[in-house]
Amino acid sequence: MRVLVSVGDRVSPGDPMVVMEAMKMELVIKAPEQGVVASIPVAAGDAVEVDQVVAVIDVDDEADAAD
């Protein structure tokens, strides 16, 4: 696993965040929402399980942005 972002980075939908490798294939995990990376509870090279959280995003609130 390779982590492509750091805590505090701003991400937009579709931005690559993490690259997972399984069976000699790579899968890029992309940001689902716009916001700021709040935490990354895994480290490069860690083995992860299905449904394990690999990054947390503080999502921008569109209502706050409009004020």
19-43 residue pLDDT tens: 998 888 999 999 999 999 999 999 8
- Contact assessment for residue 1 and residue 44, using Cβ atoms and an 8 Å cutoff: yes
Q: Which residues have a Cβ under 8 Å from the Cβ of 24 and sit 6 or more positions away?
A: none
Q: Tell me if 67 is assigned to some domain.
A: no
Domain residues for the domain of 47 are 2-61
User: Is the per-residue pLDDT at 64 higher than 70?
Assistant: no
Residue 39 lies in a domain: yes
Calculate what percentage of the chain has a pLDDT beyond 90: 66
Domain count of the fold of the chain = 1
Q: What CATH number does the domain containing 35 carry?
A: 2.40.50.100
Average pLDDT, the chain: 89
pLDDT, residue 45, reads 84
At 62 the pLDDT is: 60
How far apart (Å, rounded) are the C-alpha atoms in residues 36 and 14?
14
Which pLDDT belongs to residue 63?
Answer: 43
What is the rounded distance in angstroms from the CA atom of residue 42 to the CA atom of residue 12? 21
Burial class (CB in 10 A: 0-12, 13-18, 19+), 11: buried
